[in-house]
Structure 1
Amino acid sequence: MRYPLDFEATFSKTYLFWLSKFTRNKITTLSNRNVTDKDRLAQIIQHLAQGSDNIKVLKQWLNDARNIGMGGIHVYFRPLEKLYEYLMRFGAASMREIDEELLSDFLASETSQLSDASKKNYRIALLSFFSYIDKQNSDENGTAYHYGIELKNWGGLGGKGGIKLPSYLNKDEVQRFIAAIDAYEFKTPEIGIRNRLIIKLILYTGIRVGEAIGVKKSDFFKDEDTYVIQVRGKGNKPRVVMIREKIIQSDLLAWLEIHHCHDGLMFCNQKGTKLTQAYLSRIVEQILISAGIRKEKNGCHMLRHTFATLLYQKSHDLILVQESLGHADINTSRIYTHFDKEKLKKTTDIF
């Protein structure tokens, strides 16, 4: 049976619901050759099937499973328990707030003192957990939410292909992409106004797509020739970004004239409800294709990498990049130093 991604009323209950389902699945697939009490194991599996909204109760069940000889389950549970604590500290409100970047932040902060073997276990546990959810969630229309977590860019350990630098647009490609945004034919003029506005907002400020679709109308403030926008990052942490008035003024005024969004949202679909990240990523990819631009990653997050890369190339200020992107750890921002061409050019003069 499949379940909606945000199945329970609160994030805590939803996360523990999925963790119960996942650990039950793992217990039924791990070797049971060393189990000494099959009746107790059957009870534990039944408990997990029913689930628990208390992390301590869930942990006790799995400790009992380990004590009767079910080895290996703690390798999966311990990292996911730590992730739960991490997300609760930052006030997560939905499973949809979890993405590759958040998990990389978590791994960077939580595994710094661990051995390489333990780091690998953390990565395996996260990959297994979100792959399981990918396959088991479904909304009322039968559509599944897909995380697609790979963690290849995590600095602690590389994936099968090693650590990969993020895809981004160079300056020429940015100009072609901007021209393509304005030239692209959307289904309706209203959709075009909205999509141009939100895509330019992501490109020119580097905000996450999840932050963009959650922006409220009341979060926009005019300050001389600039719009100041308050966004809510991971853990509901607020920060401020800025964009020049001339970049969005025409589309912004046109959008406000037809604005019909519920719950105070700035952007919404035709029903007045929140846009999805998947929809915006598809639109960005289609615009890139229309401009003749192909990258390994063509979604909205690539626009965030583009902003950060060009910002670092221009400013050489890693703190500015960290603050602009809302990274909790500066090490997450450090990846963009790999694109400092002026420093790299110095290596060509060694001989």
Structure 2
Amino acid sequence: MRYNLDFCDTFDKTYCFWLALFVRNKLTTLSNTQVLDKDTFADILQVLIRGEKNIDELKVLVKKARNIGLSGINTYFNPLVKLYDFLKTFGPASMKEIDEELLIDFLASYTAGLSDASKKNHRIALLNFFSYIDKQNENVDGSSYQFKIELKNWAGLGGKSGMKLPSHMNKDEINRFLEAIDNYEFSIETAYRNRLILKIIIYTGIRVSEMLNLRTKDIFREDDVYILQVRGKGNKPRVVMIKAKIIENDLQNWLSIRTCEDLLVCNKKGNRLTQAYVSRIVENILISAGIRKEKNGAHMLRHSFATLLYQKHHDLILVQEALGHADINTSRIYTHFDRERLKATTNLLD
């Protein structure tokens, strides 16, 4: 069904109306193989298409969707919430007051200081949102309003691939971090689980979301290693391995007390853990080990794994396969940490 562009009586309601429809559309097109609660998922979809919603109600629904496994929705939703806050300062009366120039102003002001990857995500969210509205709005005479947003002239990106190097730990810092994991005073209920999570991420380089979506059937032992069957972005499968001796104790002790129905790790209610929770654990352990980085979140562990992997083997294909990158150019950033290779430049004038 199509709707008039300014469907509601105020701009706030209209923007939230379109945002609710867009979120519903994205939830139905994202891979749903990681959905942990199909009934909750169905309820979220029904609520999104039924009645008007304000921005706070939408935040609650998106959080529920994220908690049942649809973490990718935040890539689209969060930039559009920021856009909503930005537009409110202008007090527009109609969606038609939004144009390319205004959106470039938004990107320039709200993405300053962010990485190129985050800036690209903001741009993609805007393009998807307004393209969706272009296709779904309809006037009484059957015509539709076209935003035709392209954002080709936005100069906010540093380059085609974005060359900002990610925060990572060197080998000495990784060793200190691993020692701190075992020495950190977790609660009795969370100690085995949290150590298991952090060790798997740092030793395999899988994404936090991939770790939190692992099911017990996805991990099994073969000789002296555990094999993990991971589902990455776009629901693409891959296999990673970790030496059994690294996680055996934490894994078996956690399995003996866990309350999860299907997930490998969960909270005390049996629900999926959040990425924010894991990042807080990482930051606390980094502080205890005296390690400070520009970014202390859990994703930094993945960058540390990839950096060390490339430095040791100088094999971009291996890095690409281990991290599950669709494009090898994404993996190429880790070549910038190859200090031995760069040392060759110091001999240029010898």
Q: Any idea what the Cα deviations from partners look like across 1:99-137, whole Å, max 9, x if unmatched?
A: xxxxxxxxxxxx9xx96x3453xx6xxxxxxxxxxxxxx
**TM-score if structure 1 supplies the norm length?**
0.63
Residues 77 and 125 in structure 2, CA contact (< 8 A), matched pair in contact too: no
Deviation at 1:20, TM superposition (A): 7.8
Amino acid of the residue matched to residue 301 of structure 1?
H
Residues 119 and 157 in structure 1, CA contact (< 8 A), matched pair in contact too: no
What is residue 59 of structure 2 aligned with on the other side? 5
Q: Any idea what the Cα deviations from partners look like across 1:133-171, whole Å, max 9, x if unmatched?
A: xxxxxxxxxxxxxxxxxxxxx75376xxxx532121111
Residue 342 of structure 2 aligns to a residue in which SS? helix
What is residue 176 of structure 2 aligned with on the other side? 176
What is residue 307 of structure 2 aligned with on the other side? 309
**Residues 291-306 of structure 1 correspond to what in structure 2 (within 5 A)?**
291-306=289-304
Asked if 1:332 is matched to 2:336, the reply is no
Deviation at 1:23, TM superposition (A): 6.4
**Residues 1-351 of structure 1 correspond to what in structure 2 (within 5 A)?**
2-5=56-59, 7=61, 29=89, 42=93, 44-45=94-95, 62=96, 72=101, 79-80=124-125, 82-83=127-128, 117-118=153-154, 120=156, 155-156=159-160, 163-188=163-188, 190-262=189-261, 264-350=262-348, 351=350
Residues 6 and 14 in structure 1, CA contact (< 8 A), matched pair in contact too: no
Residues 80 and 126 in structure 2, CA contact (< 8 A), matched pair in contact too: no
Structure 2: gaps spanning 5 or more residues: 1-54, 107-121, 132-149
**What CA distance in whole angstroms lies between the structure 1 residues aligned with 2:74 and 2:292?**
37
What is residue 91 of structure 1 aligned with on the other side? none
Residues 205 and 306 in structure 2, CA contact (< 8 A), matched pair in contact too: yes
Deviation at 1:3, TM superposition (A): 2.8
Amino acid of the residue matched to residue 274 of structure 2?
T
**What CA distance in whole angstroms lies between the structure 2 residues aligned with 1:320 and 1:15?**
27
Residue 7 of structure 1 aligns to a residue in which SS? helix
Deviation at 1:185, TM superposition (A): 0.9
Residues 202 and 212 in structure 1, CA contact (< 8 A), matched pair in contact too: yes
Residues 167 and 296 in structure 1, CA contact (< 8 A), matched pair in contact too: yes
Share of identical aligned residues, percent? 53
Amino acid of the residue matched to residue 282 of structure 1?
R
| Closer, same or farther: CA 165–218 of 1 in aligned 2, 3 Å | same
Aligned length: 256
RMSD after superposition: 3.5
**TM-score if structure 2 supplies the norm length?**
0.63
**What CA distance in whole angstroms lies between the structure 2 residues aligned with 1:301 and 1:346?**
31
Deviation at 1:329, TM superposition (A): 2.0
Residue 260 of structure 1 aligns to a residue in which SS? coil
Deviation at 1:215, TM superposition (A): 0.8
Structure 1: gaps spanning 5 or more residues: 33-41, 46-61, 87-110, 124-153
| Closer, same or farther: CA 192–329 of 1 in aligned 2, 3 Å | same
Residue 305 of structure 1 aligns to a residue in which SS? helix
Deviation at 1:293, TM superposition (A): 1.5
Deviation at 1:231, TM superposition (A): 1.4
What is residue 59 of structure 1 aligned with on the other side? none
Residues 197 and 248 in structure 1, CA contact (< 8 A), matched pair in contact too: yes
Residues 193 and 251 in structure 1, CA contact (< 8 A), matched pair in contact too: yes
Q: Any idea what the Cα deviations from partners look like across 1:238-272, whole Å, max 9, x if unmatched?
A: 2111111111011111111112113x110011111
